Amino acid sequence: MKSMTGFGVSQKKNKNVTIDVSIRAVNGRFFDAKIHLPSEYQQFEKDIRECVVKQIQRGSVSIVVSRKRATLTSEKNIVTNLAVAKKYVSEMRKLAKTIKIKGEPTLEMLSRLSDIFVVEESAAVVVGDEKEIVLKAVHEAIARLESERLREGESLKRTLQERVALLESLRQKIYDSRDEANQALKAKLEKRAEELKLKTFDSQRLSDEIVWLLDKSDIDEELTRLKEHLYHFTSLMKLPESQGKKMDFYTQELLREVNTIGSKANHGKITQSVIEAKNLIEQIKEQVQNIE
């Protein structure tokens, strides 16, 4: 069993570059990966995504890859915009003539104008085995992420096992109280019928009504289904692969059966157990949301 949350980092380097990779995973109903790469590594996005997909099936994943060259200096190209320079010279001469001053535009004047000279960074080039190094760093970061997710998953598993055991004990408690609840309901119906003097009016009809009401409030089927759902939920926890979606489905079914029991059985002990069971199921549901 694996948690959906975790974090992993890795760093790889050679004589030319240092590559850092970080990967973070959080809860999500479906798989969603956002990969942030430097421009020179955009060509590797497909390969990186395939590495992630092999390990992660659910959750929102963010992968950040950074690249730092070994030398801090980089080649720069200076390009002169001749058309703009000529236009400046022409306009300066017109201005001098208009305001009647002497002088010619100088190189010093032109050098102060920022849009004449353009500084361009030389294009970063991926050399040698950089792709291999990037993918190694990604694999290592994913491995560390998976280790953390497995550790958290085992902790979740222990918590769920404890809560499922408590839920089963409440189910048994409700089962043990059902006969008492039925007898209390029967006595209540008979007393009410006697107060209304219906017993002497049609005793057979009264008996039929009591049987019908007892049958309507019977919770045996719900208790049986509740036991089956708990069994299947526990079985999913034992599987080597995470079954978060299926476990989430069973928490909904558990809650459905407990709600039905609560609505059918109007009995103090059962009502108290139902309230405790619903609280437990909500806790279980919250934990399941974090399982892949």
DSSP labels, 148-201: HHHHHHHHHHHHHHHHHHHHHHHHHHHHHHHHHHHHHHHHHHHHHHHHTT-TTT
CA distance 219 to 258: 10
Return the number of other C-beta atoms located less than 10 Å from residue 13's C-beta: 13
125 φ, ψ (degrees, to nearest 5): -115, 130
Tally DSSP H helices, then E strands, for the chain.
Answer: 8, 6
pLDDT for residue 73? 45
DSSP code at position 291:
B
- Distance in angstroms (rounded) separating the CA atoms of residues 216 and 201: 24
- Angle of the 220-238 helix axis to the 130-195 helix axis, nearest 10: 170
Residues of the chain with pLDDT under 50: 73, 199
CA within 13 Å, CB half, 131: 9
What is the predicted pLDDT for the residue at 158? 94
* pLDDT number for residue 115: 82
Task: Give CATH superfamily name and number for 6-71+128-148.
Answer: GHMP Kinase, N-terminal domain (3.30.230.70)
